[in-house]
Structure 1
Amino acid sequence: MALTRLTLRDFRNHAATRLEDTAAFNVLVGENGAGKTNVLEAISLFAPGRGLRRAQPSEMAGRTGDGSFAVAAEMEGGDLALGTATLASAPNSRTVRINGASGPATRLAEWLSITWLTPAMDRLFAEGPSARRRFLDRLVLAVRPDHARTATRYETALRERGRLLSDPAEPDPAWLDALEAQLAETGTALAGARRALVGDLAAVIETLPEQPFARPALAYASETPADEDALRRALREGRRRDRAAGRTLTGPHRDDLAVMLAAKNAPAADCSTGEQKAMLIAIVLAHAALTAGPRPRLLLLDEIAAHLDPLRRAALYERLAASGAQVWMTGTEIAPFAEIAGEAAVWRVAEGAALRV
């Protein structure tokens, strides 16, 4: 099952755009600033979270509208209809509808598996660990729909514990006990899911050829106790230290995804921009092999082919086709997509409008 119709109303620079009659490969072509990435961002809102730009809902509303926006998607066969929207009266409150019924954004993961790669992620390995944790959590979520709820419960308890510890008054130990029990339960589940996915990705990457994409070596860098009771004890024993530090110093919110370039045994952060990009592509391709299942799978690849030579482009398209996922790609010109032109649905995007080529 694939996305067959996408409708945007007052979303970014798209006043009224509809894309339909889609294919396994879908290509959006246009000049910089035409609105290509905005379409990918709209699709990314059907995954839990804030989308591929991590923007506030009010930032997504078109400037010529009333301050609200709406995005709707229909899946093949008409068995699934998704919608997300804001109101002018509440521009930062985004609602979600699944088959006409309202629900929390975390439920979207039960229906769709969405992964994306954007140029802004090219420096992922050189940035701080928080960006890599978000990247890893999105990969986990595409495999395990319950991961979003676990992460939300963990973050809620973490914020509340931090609030209590930062209060000048001595916090209630019983309340801290309850919060730390929730942190231990959800924290070990969170870290366990990440660790398992990294292991699965590493196993798939080992089966892929060394070329044409650089082969990364992955590890989950974590000091989080794997045992729930051990994590609960560590949190309890660290209360005074955490109170002095002003934050919780133990748990999966401090973990990291460690990546090495296998051929050079070099940390990804020390590799060239091209090598880092190649490793990211290798990870996304390996992940695509893990997500086969009953949920529709979408890959959003922004400007993915722009800096690849013909050999790497051909290899990329071959592996994407083998993944079974529906792929959405953008580019400033059609030439890099010549290998798949005959089987792809192509739209020319200009000034917030998309016309089928």
Structure 2
Amino acid sequence: MSGLAITSLTLSHFRSHKAAKLVFDGRPVALVGANGAGKTNILEAVSLLSPGRGLRRAAAEDLARRPEALGWKLAARVSGIAADHDIETGAEAGEARSLRIDGKPAPQTALARILRILWLVPAMDRLWIEAAEGRRRFLDRITLSFIPDHAEVSLAYEKAMRDRNRLLKDQVSDARWYAALEAQMVEAGTAIISNRLAALDRLAHAQSNGSAFPRADLALTGPDGGTELPAEDLALALVEGRRRDMAAGRTLQGPHRSDLRAIYVSKGAEAGQCSTGEQKALLISLILANARALAADLGRAPVILLDEVAAHLDISRRAALYDEICALGAQAIMTGTEAALFEAMGDRGSVVTIRDDNGVSRISE
């Protein structure tokens, strides 16, 4: 099985790269170089070929190379779900990000119908011990990979909730002002909960018993750690919670307060109580399960971005990771400070050296 792939990538005034061009052959590739060479910036550029703000969730103006701040541009040729496409995205100084697909303006949501991109970066290492917001974001990225329309219902829910929160802050008590907004929240919120549960079900079935990485039992919970509010009860909860919400000045019940619970199956332990290495292994396991499920859906594996992942794995786990990626036929773009971390990949992948030369990226195989 061949995977979805980035076949070429050109960067102009993006982060640390004044100019850079990379050509890929669809195999896994390791970007190797010293800290500060711009390896993660290349991963971030690839992540912007999917809907949203990329793996750092940066604003468009923050992506421009400093000190020039002239704006930035990315151009990519991709082997997509149904066809090859040319994608261009960027932002002029002081302007919003634009997107063109095959030369025509397009919304970011169109990217989800061309490519599916998953990523794991060091900032996610604290996922199981940080606030619930990070886990919701992690789950919603997984959900979006299965259900591209999840982005639209999430935006609809957030817009209606912002309007409701404005009423609460203004101490509006007339029920008629809330009814329409709460109806919109219920419709979108019900879809959000349903989509998330469907994604968790897909992950549960895609975790491999033969993997070197641990299985996780996942559950969607409410803000207090209890059972997630059933979708059909959301309308009543919003009506009955108005007085409490008004005191707080915000909506306290709904899918925007959900959390993701993970149990390390073989130990029967909460993910947050496991060691740092075990937490990392769980994350890798879930990314691989996500990739397997997508490969089964699409007939092609997604692109996988792994930033500095090899340095945190022992030799056997590194080899197992490369074996699983290659068995999927996935294009994995990985980073590391030395080529030795990727020796177990052998000729199944390639190693590209990245170095900075007075602001120009020098790239060599």
TM-score tier by shorter-chain length is over 0.9
Distance 2:361 2:248 in 1: 51
Deviations 1:263-295 (A, max 9, x none): 221111111101101111111111111112067
Q: How much has 1:171 moved relative to structure 2?
A: 5.5
Trace 1:290-309 onto structure 2 (pairs within 5 A): 290-292=293-295, 293=298, 297-309=302-314
For the residues of structure 2 that align with 1:95 and 1:318, how far apart are their CA atoms? 38
Give the counterpart of 1:328 among 333, 339, 360: 333
Query: Paired residue for 1:181?
Result: 183
- The reply on whether 1:127 has 2:135 as its aligned counterpart is no
Q: Which residue of 1 aligns with 2:206?
A: 204
Cα separation, partners in 2 of 1:89 and 1:57, compared to 1, 3 Å = closer
Candidates 6, 11, 14, aligned match of 1:8: 11
Aligned to 2:89: 84
Tell me, what secondary structure is at the counterpart of 1:71?
strand
Deviation at 1:354, TM superposition (A): 4.1
The AA in structure 2 aligned to 1:49 is G
1:196, distance to aligned residue in structure 2 (A): 1.5
- Aligned-partner Cα distance in 2 for 1:60–1:295: 30
Aligned runs of 1:1-357 on 2, under 5 Å?
1-76=4-79, 79-90=84-95, 93-168=96-171, 170=172, 173-205=175-207, 207-209=208-210, 212-222=212-222, 223-228=227-232, 230-292=233-295, 293=298, 297-351=302-356, 353-357=361-365
**Aligned-partner SS, 2:119:** strand
Cα drift, residue 224 of structure 1: 4.7
Distance 1:87 1:294, change over 3 A: farther
RMSD: 1.9
Do the aligned partners of 2:157 and 2:188 also contact (CA within 8 Å) in 1? yes
1:214–1:282: 8 Å Cα contact kept in structure 2? yes
2: distance between equivalents of 1:160 and 1:200?
33
- Structure 1 residue 67: deviation in Å? 3.0
The residue identity in structure 2 corresponding to 1:236 is V
Query: 3-state DSSP class of the match of 1:75?
Result: strand
Letter in 1 for 2:215: R
Task: Provide the rounded CA distance (Å) in 1 between the counterparts of 2:249 and 2:123.
Answer: 31
Structure 1 residue 60 displacement after superposition:
1.1
- Does the residue aligned with 2:312 lie in a helix, a strand or coil? coil
| CA apart distance, 1:143 | 1.2
Q: Distance in 1 between matches of 2:23 and 2:253?
A: 48
2:29, 2:63 → 1: CA distance?
23
Query: Is this contact kept in 1: 2:203–2:290, CA < 8 A?
Result: yes
Q: Which runs of 5+ in 2 are unaligned?
A: none
What is the percentage of aligned positions where both structures have the same residue?
48
